A and B are shown apart, each in its own frame.
Chain A
Amino acid sequence: MSTAKRVPAPDRNDFMDVDGLLNDEQRQIRDTVRAFATAELLPHVADWFEAGTIPDAPGLAKGMGALGIFGMHLDGYGCAGTDNVSYGLACREMEAVDSGLRSFLSVQGSLAMAGIHKFGSEEQKNEWLPRMAAGDAIGCFGLTEPDSGSDPGSMRTRARRDGADWVLDGTKMWITNGNVAQVAIVWAATEEGIRGFLVPTDTPGFQANVVHKKISLRASITSELVLDGVRLPANAQLPLAEGLKAPLSCLNEARYGIVWGVVGAARACYEAAVDYAGSRVQFDKPIAGFQLTQRKIADMLVDVNQAGLTAWRIGTLKDADRAHHNHVSFGKFANVQAAQRVARASRSIHGANGITLEYPVMRHMVNLETVATYEGTEEIHALSLGQAVTGVSAFR
C-alpha cells in the first residue's frame, strides 16, 4: 500500500466533479455566463415571470449578444466558434436562472441562426447572422401549428409560387419570441415538399399575436403567427432545406441545449432545497435532520449529477462528431424527467414558501412542464429510443 492521501470531500454543489472534466476555456465560459446570469438576470426573473413577459427583449438580446452567446458554437459570421460542451454550459448556467431565458438563447442560436447557417444562401447568412449574433436582430422559428405538433409533417401552412415570388398562407402556434422577432423562419408545405422561408416580420400579411394565460415559461414571449398572403421574393427561401428533416435537424441542435439546460434548473432546485432544509426548523430541529428529507435530498443529488454526466458525455460525443440524434433523444428524455423529479421534491421541501416566487423552485417546476413538451415530448422521445433499440416503429 502506498501512503494514504487525504481525499477531499465532494463539493456538495458538484458532487461528481463534473466540472473537473472541463478545460480552461470551458470553465471560463461557464464562469462568465454564471456571473452574467446571476448579476443581470436573476434579480429580475421572478418579476418577469409574474408579469408574464420579458419587458425589454431587445435589451436582453443586446446584453446576451455582447457576451457572444448567440450562435456561439457556429463558425464565422460574427459567431464565437466555441465547442459544443461550452455551448451546453452556457445553456446550463442560463437555465439555472430560468428555462424561459435559456429558451431565448436556444431559439435565437440553435433554431433560427443554426437553421440559416446550415440551410441559408451566402447572401442570407451575411444579411442575418452577424446582426443576430450581436443581438441586434431577433429571430424566431415557426414549425408548430394549432393542429400540428408532434406530427409536424401534417402541417397546413402552404407556400405556393406566383411567378418568381412565393406566397405563404397559414398559422403557426407556440412560437417563442414571435412578437419580438425581426425575422421568422417559417416552415411551409410546397408542391415539392416542406421548405423553409426567411420572413421579415414587417412583411405585409404577417402578424404575431401574444399567447396569454400561460402558467409555464412565463418569463418568455410565446406567439401565434398568422400568415395571410405573405408575398416573398424567390431569394427568401432557404436553398439547402429540403423536406421535414431540415427543421428536425434544427430541433436536434436546440434539444442538445436542453439536455444541458435542465441540469441547471435541477441544480438550482437542489441547492435551494439543501439551503432551505438546513435553515427551516420544525419539531425543534432543521427539517434537513429528518430521514424523509434526507432521502429526498439524496435522490435529488443523484438526479442532478447523473443528468450532468449525461449532458457532458453527449457534449463530448458531439464535439467528436459522434453524437447521433438518438443520443440527444436519450439526454432529453432522461434529463428533463430527472429535473422534473428534482423540482417537485424541492418544492415539497419548501412547504408553503415553495409555491411563491420568493423561491425559485415552483417557477422551475412549472417551466419544466414546457421543457418536457417542446422539442419533442417525453412520449415522442420514448418512441424514438424504443425504435432505436428494438428496430420497430411505434409512431403510428
Chain B
Amino acid sequence: MNIVVCVKQVPDTASERNLKTDDKTLDREAADGLMNELDEYAVEEALQIKEAQGGEVTVLTMGPDKAAETIRKALSMGADKAVHLVDDALHGSDALQTSAALAQALRKIGFDLVILGSESTDARTGVLAAMLAERLGVPQLSLAGKVEIDGGNVRVERQTDYGHDKVEGSLPAVVSVVEKINEPRYPSFKGIMAAKKKPVEKLAVGDIELDAAAVGLGNAPTQVVEFAAAPPRAAGTIVTDEGEGGAQAADFLASKKFV
C-alpha cells in the first residue's frame, strides 16, 4: 500500500497572524509554523494503515523552505520519506492552483491512497480533497471518522450532522479525515533522531510538468481584493440569575446551535 499524506504548514493559531499589505498574502515568516492540526490525524491514520497492512508512507507538502519543519515532524512520527514542493513561482497560489500542483506531484510520486486533513486552520477553504480527487480522476471520500482498507476498496464512516454515513470507494482514492478518527502519536525521540536520515526530495515547478505561468499569485483565478482587521469582540451579555438563569443559558446555547 503506497500512501501519500498531504500536510501543510500553517501559522500557529496561538500567535498573531497578519496579511502582508503589499501582496495580501499571509505573512508566514513572522508567525511560528506548525503542522496543520488535522494533518496530524491524517499522518497518524496513514501510519496505522501501514502498520496494519504494510507499505510505505510518503509525506507531500507544498510550501516555502520553512515548511521543512513540518515535513520533519511527519517523518519523526514515522513516515518513511517526503516530497517537498518548493518554488518561488508557487507563492500566493490559490486553492485551484495548489490542487493542480499537488495533483501533478501526486502523479509523479504514484499512490494507492492519498490522505489529508479535511481543512487547514489558515485558509479554511476545505476544498482541496475534492479538487485533488477531481483532477486525479479518483474517488473522494471526505470527512472520514474511520477508515478501513479492504482489498482494493476503502470504506469510511463519513461524519455528518446526524451521525455518519458509510461510504465505500475503490482504490486509488483520496480520503480527507476529521479529528474524531484517531489520537495522533507524539514523535518519539528515536523517531526524531531517525528523521534526519530519511529522504526528502525537493521538487520545483519544472520537475512536475507544470507551467510556472499557471501558478502563483499573479496568475491566480481568485484574488484577495481587500482585507480588514477583525472588529474587536463585542461586549458580552450579562444574565442576572433570578431563578431562570439556567433556562436563559440553555436558550443562548440553542440560539447559537450549540445544543
* Residues of A in contact with B (beta carbons under 8 Å apart): 24-25, 28-29, 32, 35-36, 66-69, 72, 80-82, 86
Q: Which residues B189-203 have CB closer than 8 A to chain A?
A: 189-193, 196
* Contact B186 A66, beta carbon cutoff 8 Å: yes
Interface of B is mostly: helix
* Contact B193 A81, beta carbon cutoff 8 Å: yes
The answer to whether the Cβ of B158 comes within 8 Å of any Cβ in the partner chain is no
The answer to whether the Cβ of B23 comes within 8 Å of any Cβ in the partner chain is no
CB distance from A290 to the nearest CB of B (A): 27
In the complex, residue of chain A having the shortest beta-carbon distance to the beta carbon of B185: A66
* Contact B189 A35, beta carbon cutoff 8 Å: no
- Docked CA distance A163–B190 (Å): 44
CB distance from A62 to the nearest CB of B (A): 13
The answer to whether the Cβ of B207 comes within 8 Å of any Cβ in the partner chain is no
CB distance from B48 to the nearest CB of A (A): 15
In the complex, residue of chain A having the shortest beta-carbon distance to the beta carbon of B68: A24
CB distance from A349 to the nearest CB of B (A): 24
The answer to whether the Cβ of B28 comes within 8 Å of any Cβ in the partner chain is no
Indicate the size class of the contact surface on chain B.
Answer: 10 to 19
* Contact A28 B72, beta carbon cutoff 8 Å: yes
- Docked CA distance A122–B187 (Å): 29
* Contact A25 B186, beta carbon cutoff 8 Å: no
* Contact A66 B188, beta carbon cutoff 8 Å: yes
CB distance from B87 to the nearest CB of A (A): 22
- Docked CA distance A67–B76 (Å): 11
* Contact A24 B193, beta carbon cutoff 8 Å: no
The answer to whether the Cβ of B134 comes within 8 Å of any Cβ in the partner chain is no
**Chain A residues within 8 Å of B196, by CB:** 25
**Chain A residues within 8 Å of B190, by CB:** 68, 80
CB distance from B61 to the nearest CB of A (A): 16
- B171-196, CB under 8 A of A: which get 1 and which 0? 00000000000000111111111001
CB distance from A93 to the nearest CB of B (A): 12
* Contact B186 A28, beta carbon cutoff 8 Å: no
* Contact B69 A80, beta carbon cutoff 8 Å: no
* Contact A80 B188, beta carbon cutoff 8 Å: yes
In the complex, residue of chain A having the shortest beta-carbon distance to the beta carbon of B192: A28
- Docked CA distance A82–B188 (Å): 11
- Docked CA distance A318–B190 (Å): 21
**Chain B residues within 8 Å of A24, by CB:** 69, 72
* Contact B189 A72, beta carbon cutoff 8 Å: yes
* Contact B186 A82, beta carbon cutoff 8 Å: no
